[in-house]
Amino acid sequence: MIPIVLASVLIASVLGCGNPPIQPLTSRVVNGVDSIPHSWPWQISLQYEKNGEWRHTCGGSLVAANWVMTAAHCINTQLSYRVFVGKYNLVEDEAGSQAILPEKIIVHKQWNPILVALGNDIAMIKLSESVTLSDHVQLACIPPAETLLPNLYPCYITGWGRIYTGGPIADKLQQALMPVADHETCSQNDWWGVAVRTSMVCAGGDGIVGGCNGDSGGPLNCKNADGTWEVHGIASFVSGLGCNFIRKPTVFTRVSAFNEWIDEVMMMN
């Protein structure tokens, strides 16, 4: 995911962010698999209403009791949204899950939907009520400002996105090991080249595992030296050639490039 200390970091640290009561299974995960139920308890499902039904569109991370962090490209001002916390299986009623309407949605002012590669693909959702934390609902930790992860650092993408290019979205929350491709690697000409900026972080690129439609806005989860999980990335874009095209890793908004902006949004709203 230090001179700037986030309000969200302060809130989360008091409540023990990044340490899920139900621990995720992280050994020898290569391809995307069903996660252990509620082992990523900061993961949310962002849903929109269409024809009287709520439909999953993006992921996101609960960073405070009444704030969610997601991608700017997930937001369409013409749609009505809700945030579902405590979810694992999208097609089942689950004890402890809760759907909450947004009070306010703030998209980064420099986000340009026509020029995604310019970056700034980040938005904050203020919830109309604070969630109740539980074993199934916990806060994400945000890394210190300007934290950069080394090449091949092990991280996990989580989400309900399509299980393969053009396929159906997942019912159960998926997870997959996606090592970081550092900027030097990811900006090579046969990787993403100039399309990837330093305010982004790449992960994956092996041609097997990748984020896909529906994973957008969701977290790139990375464990720090203290054993605490931090959300270092917000899923932003994949290659038009396919969700898991070789040397075209999933590109995430680098959270540690936006600590000051997140802090300002939460303090001013």
Query: How is the chain split among helix, strand and coil, in percent rounded to 5?
Result: 15, 30, 55
Structure pTM? Answer: 0.92
* Interaxial angle between packed helices 7-14 and 259-268, expressed in degrees from 0 to 180 and rounded to the nearest 10: 80
Three-state secondary-structure class, residue 181: strand
Element (H, E) at 67: strand 67-70
**Cβ–Cβ < 8 Å for 73, 188:** no
Contact between 111 and 72 under an 8 Å Cβ cutoff? The reply is yes
- pLDDT score, position 8: 37
Please report the pLDDT score of residue 48 as a whole number: 98
Q: Give the three-class secondary structure for 236.
A: strand
Residue of 8, 13, 21, 117 whose CA lies nearest to 64: 8
Digit-by-digit pLDDT tens for the chain (269 residues) are 222 233 333 334 334 799 999 999 886 555 678 999 999 999 999 999 999 999 999 999 999 999 999 999 999 999 999 999 999 999 999 999 999 999 999 999 999 999 888 999 999 999 999 999 999 999 999 999 999 999 999 999 999 999 888 888 899 999 999 999 999 999 999 999 999 999 999 999 999 889 999 999 999 999 999 999 999 999 999 998 889 899 999 999 999 999 999 999 999 99
Please report the pLDDT score of residue 70 as a whole number: 98
Indicate which residues carry an active-site annotation. Answer: 73, 121, 216
